[in-house]
Chain A
Amino acid sequence: MSRSKNANGVSVRIKDESSLLSSKDKTGPEQLSDEILVARITRGDSSALEALYDRHASTVLGVLLKVIGDRALAEDVLQETFWRVWKSASTYESERGPFTGWLFRIARNLAIDAHRRTNVRPQILVTENDVDALADRAPDPDTDVPEQAQVDFRNQQVRAALASLPRVQRQVIELAYFYGMTRQEISKATGEALGTIHTRARLGLQKLREELDREEFEG
């Protein structure tokens, strides 16, 4: 086992899954779990990275585009995200959560950095419409959205669950998660008291969890 800090400062570790990593294993990469593919990447198996990319790139790009808002820059950050996966795979610790959590954290942090480099963040009180526009920003109109039939069931479940939240709760959650805004920044941007922001975040996450449970969501 190895332990170290990854590029995002997260201390992670990966189990020895040597029995699953044998080069004699005839199972195709596309049939293996994310965690086994990451373990294969630690041995320099580029086909494992390709399989992970094919599996998750469209979801990651959706997140990046939501945060960054610029298609070309989002594609660059997507490439950088999977490059980090390639370079830092040995720092992923499967015991601390699924690979997707680690992947999305890398993508989100890179996206927030890119967003901060290219945008002036709300420093003063802005209108509610401005904040809504940031939280609800739709993808680039040129976005190549997959056919409806191909849209993953999980995306529909989560979007439905998010849509069921009161707007002000969803707003706080999205500003914090997708844009990395602190509770103080959200309070300042929305003009709401800090206590109100705390309550909205807590109730919003609680309701989101309940809705996902009701829909039997499996991440």
Chain B
Amino acid sequence: MEPREIEELLPFYALDALTDEERELVETYLREHPEARQQLDEMGKAVSALPYGAAPVEPAARTKEALMARVAVDPRSRALKQEQAPRPREMRWINIFQAFGLGAATVAILWAVVLNIQLSQMKNQVALLNEALVAQSNALQEINARLAQTPVAETVTISLKGTDIQPQAQGQLIADPNKNSAVLVIDGLDQLEPGKTYQVWLIDGGEPISAGLLSLDSNGQAVLIVTSELTIGEFNALGISVEPEGGSQQPTGDIVVLSDL
């Protein structure tokens, strides 16, 4: 391709609308002609503004709730909490020894001092933890006392289990039977081959009604806000089946989860 022809591709490169082959041609050209990069940067600035050309739309609250519920059960969220715990201090003492190059006798004396300090710190930490434990215990007692005075909540949690096809699958449906929506949390589902998806069904004795498609994360977990025109309490069962991508009108594939509501 002539250089002039490749330069004609630059606007579409900036717009990210080239075929893979064309994109490679442009990238090779840019490596060999760095002066074209400036031209591309100018176009890129215009392209970066394009998303603001669409009218902003306030998302439904449930979208954020579902996202944050998904994040909350992600192992990375939990990892941060563990990371924030106090770190061991042994390395700092080792550095002190190296820095001052003390003799063996001095090291022994210092070590004894260090051990005493650490012991003292540990005692303080244990005391603090005990205080926190007592505070939490008191808070728990207060919550229990309030719960005892509060009318029984309408929300129920229903356990969901995998069928013989995926017996390891399990989950929960958290729902108020008098409401039209519920939260489905499912775990342990197998990853599907491309072109397949999991579809959730609510069953009231007649034909199953689709309640949405599941997007599994890499751990086989998924969270879905289930909504229906009928209240959740009007349904007898919930099922999850394997369907072609985009879902089906009625279940056509393997039923991997089926539980009475």
Interface residues of A (CB under 8 A from B): 23, 43-46, 49-50, 53, 57-63, 65-66, 74-76, 78-80, 82-83, 86-87, 97-98, 100-101, 104-105, 107-108, 117-118, 139, 143-146, 151-152, 154-155, 157-159, 161-162, 173-174, 176-178, 180-183, 198, 201-202, 204-206, 208-209, 212, 217, 219
Contacts and interface: CB of A to CB of B under 8 A. Distances in A.
Contact of B52 (A74, A105, A145, A152): A152
Interface string B227-261: 00000000000000000011000000000000000
Contacts of A23: 84
Given A118-B246, A174-B50, 20 more contacts: A44-B76, A58-B59, A62-B51, A65-B54, A75-B63, A76-B213, A80-B215, A83-B71, A97-B48, A143-B55, A144-B58, A145-B58, A146-B57, A159-B52, A159-B53, A182-B17, A183-B17, A202-B11, A209-B43, A212-B49
A208 B49 contact: yes
Contacts of B11: 198, 201-202, 204-205
A198 B8 contact: yes
Lowest 9 CB-CB distances: which A-B pairs, in order? A44-B80, A176-B17, A201-B11, A62-B54, A158-B52, A58-B56, A209-B46, A44-B76, A208-B46
B169 to A, nearest CB: 21
A217 B50 CA distance: 12
Contacts, number: 181
Contacts of A75: 59-60, 63
A217 B47 CA distance: 13
Nearest to B212: A76
Interface string B1-34: 0000000111110111111000000000000000
Given A44-B80, A205-B46, A219-B49, A79 B14 contact: no
Contact of B53 (A58, A107, A146, A158): A158
Chain A interface, DSSP helix/strand/loop, else mixed: helix
B12 A183 contact: yes
B48 A154 contact: no
Contacts of A76: 213, 215
B38 interface: no
Interface in B175-233: 213, 215, 217-218
Given A152-B56, A155-B55, A161 B49 contact: yes
B43 A79 contact: no
25 contacts: A44-B77, A46-B72, A58-B56, A58-B58, A75-B60, A79-B63, A82-B67, A83-B71, A86-B76, A101-B48, A117-B245, A139-B54, A145-B56, A155-B52, A159-B52, A173-B50, A178-B50, A182-B18, A183-B9, A201-B11, A202-B8, A202-B10, A206-B46, A219-B48, A219-B49
